[in-house]
Structure 1
């Protein structure tokens, strides 16, 4: 009874997480009832919507109110856009939807970020005050909500982008609005992908809502295979190496040699892949067991042969969203718009504030001025600037989406710069048209190194923390103890090596493995499930290990 009480009541320290037994008990109960109602589409949708709301309540408590608010607003605006025959009114309504969604997102996610930037720019000392909490307290004359800080609701970045895509797709006449608020709520809050993606596009998921559920053996085989694969990625290739090595190094990089810090970054690339792709594998698998298809979010990203190829394989639902709803509207690779230059100006100003180093400020100003002057007299240079401007802006904003800090903007900018540099390098590269195995290995290796070591801005707690990491790598490599480090953490490095080997397996080998699983008898599947459970239990820690992308 105590466990059921934990499952069905809100406890901030124990949300329903895929890696905890409580979630699987919850899902077993949910799936049993789903089996009774799934043939009646309206009832199925209403049931899954209510279950999803409960799941989010278990994850975020009273922040469920923000999810409900977003659902109501975009349902009403979406129907209004569709009914309106006036172009200007439709434009105003879709802009209103985007504004409300981004305002809510910015309030909860970027309040500290904007306040700190304002204070740095104007030498003020404003503090964040939660006006929404103050307003909530006024209803019951009690200080139920904390007013001196703003807490980020889990998954707000994901469901905000989903509701924006719904309104924009209706505006673009690619989609008809849903007639039922319960159906729309189901689209927004479907619990497997609600808190960490993949980001579901309205045009791909909404048509599934009105169709009857069809459950086949293929759904079961693919779903269970993805769930088992996801659990291994998360609990073995992410949590185990993090708890036993990575977290120790990143918490105090100055206590470890530069060699150890480099190994930690290589391990972190596996951790974040195992963590995030593990979550989406489980989410996609759970959805398949209920007859719904979610978009693929990862396609062996560390097989990428350049930075652009990497972002076509990593967090694909975000990359394509940014392409279709930001990059192309800004002008794509054809031209720079006024919006492009305004956004760029704000970002460059912010970067200068973040570094607070005169050499950085002067460098940015001089480079910007020189490019502007040359572009006035040279149409070819102006064309190159416009061609790459929107790409850089998209990557910078994509970095900011991941976290309310300039270090995420820098991380996004470095990845954008990697894509731009490759665009020019491939024109003179002697390896570009070489399809031999050694040329491909060389390209993959270079790309992996670039992606891995730009992630210090993603993983580092602060710019000071990142600086300490660079200091150790630059001045304290300590090669003499390299073998000792490898031996001391040999189990961790074996797991890391195993993780990368499985990732780099040929695609046809992975297809064969999944096919063998699908063709195996039920008792073999059960045995594999039990073995996976044992492996994951052995790697389990009593310390709570949330998914990394919950913070976004």
Structure 2
């Protein structure tokens, strides 16, 4: 009997491809409790904190994708050494060659796992060839830590940041488990200086952390998972079987799903980081409140948007080489941003649509600036509300291609909305999906709440004694367990 129990326990502690560890999985609660107890025990020692955090981070990654954890370690070894050679070399040609080597190695690794089959498919289509697909398993988080490696070596090359002397500090930064799988994309110059600071946890950190973790779990496990499992997935599986009204509501639902799913994970990551003494910038800022597409990309996936701006758009020339070149740079940046999301023509089209919209919006903003600015007063308010509605629907239109498996499915859904709307089925639809639509309404209401509501809640939690906060978390997890979906839903951005 004891041997059987030990065997079961060992099975739980070994990577299972059918049940990878996730921030919203039951195993993570035990993992995080053990981590936090050990982390607090060594809290006074910088070396102890780094060691505990790094070991748990690598184990977390192992439980998420098995032996691919080795890629994180190899990436850390390569870029730790290359960055130091770049920084301490006085030969500019050598420095540039080392930077190019870092870029080639990082992007080469990403392209091999993520895009090899995509380009094999293109070659086969063009040449009528029959090159077999490699069918590589995409390592979880590779897109995120690749971009972190690249920003680190580029910043070192620009002499904007001195490379770390301790390899464990860099491995700790790269493997930091709260953001390892799904971001945010953290810059080394924001994170690494915090490693040496004394670990101090105040009431503000506790309140902020609790709010972010609870909000993130609620968005992911209650709103996103429920709507996806009970409505949206049915629509996108075969849009042609549904009326245009169902398809439109399915698109609205997906807009909420992808926001709650991804921002929920980001909130959890930022909240956990806050509890462990690290401040990570927010990754989302109520993006559907945006009144134009430029504002939307300042609020959506902020860490990716800013990364593309600093390491792609500006090096391409930004707005320094004339208006036409600026519009081309915007379009090209978003096209590459779409390709970053996945090896699919759908993602490329999605990125191209956003790039074109950003270029058009830049023309509009320049025209308004030349006229002395936009409208004010009640006219300005109406224009802003109209801008929010138009921007939201453009983003939703693009989400159709982001979500749909093929172009055919995307156009099929749009065809249903345009030519087979059938508004008369609304009552039957409501009766069939009453709870889903109320959850959707709740999600949008929470999204459009003023920022001060979030600030008030954080401050209120900060004033609650530690015992009270523990009680709040226990009650929250109990309620969450009662209402969450029975099956753990894989995060959407895990595939990127």
Question: TM-score scaled by structure 1?
Answer: 0.85
Asked if 1 retains the 8 angstrom alpha-carbon contact of 2:211 and 2:461, the reply is yes
Equivalent in the alignment of 1:369 = none
How many Å separate the matches in 1 of 2:296 and 2:377? 18
The reply on whether 1:103 has 2:99 as its aligned counterpart is no
Which secondary structure state, in structure 2, belongs to the residue aligned with residue 329 of structure 1?
Answer: coil
Root-mean-square deviation (CA, aligned residues, Å) is 1.8
The reply on whether 1:153 has 2:139 as its aligned counterpart is yes
Structure 1 residues 427 and 180: CA distance shift in structure 2, 3 A: closer
How many Å separate the matches in 2 of 1:197 and 1:30? 20
Asked if 1 retains the 8 angstrom alpha-carbon contact of 2:244 and 2:418, the reply is yes
Following TM superposition, by how much is the alpha carbon of 1:410 offset from its aligned partner in structure 2, in angstroms?
A: 0.6
Moved more, 520-529 or 400-409: 520-529
The reply on whether 1:434 has 2:376 as its aligned counterpart is yes
Following TM superposition, by how much is the alpha carbon of 1:428 offset from its aligned partner in structure 2, in angstroms?
A: 5.7
Asked if 2 retains the 8 angstrom alpha-carbon contact of 1:7 and 1:26, the reply is no
How many Å separate the matches in 2 of 1:419 and 1:432? 18
Equivalent in the alignment of 1:236 = 222
Asked if 1 retains the 8 angstrom alpha-carbon contact of 2:140 and 2:495, the reply is yes
Following TM superposition, by how much is the alpha carbon of 1:502 offset from its aligned partner in structure 2, in angstroms?
A: 1.0
The reply on whether 1:393 has 2:332 as its aligned counterpart is yes
Equivalent in the alignment of 2:354 = 415
Following TM superposition, by how much is the alpha carbon of 1:524 offset from its aligned partner in structure 2, in angstroms?
A: 4.6
Following TM superposition, by how much is the alpha carbon of 1:521 offset from its aligned partner in structure 2, in angstroms?
A: 4.2
The reply on whether 1:218 has 2:204 as its aligned counterpart is yes
How many Å separate the matches in 2 of 1:91 and 1:16? 40
Which secondary structure state, in structure 1, belongs to the residue aligned with residue 21 of structure 2?
Answer: coil
Aligned counterpart for 1:177 among listed residues 163, 171, 178? 163
- Structure 1: segments with no counterpart, 5+ residues: 130-148, 336-382
Equivalent in the alignment of 2:86 = 81
Following TM superposition, by how much is the alpha carbon of 1:30 offset from its aligned partner in structure 2, in angstroms?
A: 0.7
Following TM superposition, by how much is the alpha carbon of 1:427 offset from its aligned partner in structure 2, in angstroms?
A: 5.4
Asked if 1 retains the 8 angstrom alpha-carbon contact of 2:46 and 2:196, the reply is yes
* CA deviation profile, 1:408-433 (whole Å, cap 9, x unmatched): 01101111111122222345679933
Give the length in aligned residue pairs: 486
Structure 1 residues 29 and 15: CA distance shift in structure 2, 3 A: same
Structure 1 residues 428 and 328: CA distance shift in structure 2, 3 A: closer
Aligned counterpart for 1:123 among listed residues 116, 124, 128? 128
Equivalent in the alignment of 2:345 = 406
Equivalent in the alignment of 1:300 = 286
Asked if 2 retains the 8 angstrom alpha-carbon contact of 1:10 and 1:61, the reply is yes
How many Å separate the matches in 2 of 1:109 and 1:297? 24
* CA deviation profile, 1:168-211 (whole Å, cap 9, x unmatched): 11111111111122111001000000000000101111111222
The reply on whether 1:446 has 2:390 as its aligned counterpart is yes
Following TM superposition, by how much is the alpha carbon of 1:62 offset from its aligned partner in structure 2, in angstroms?
A: 1.0
- Structure 2: segments with no counterpart, 5+ residues: none
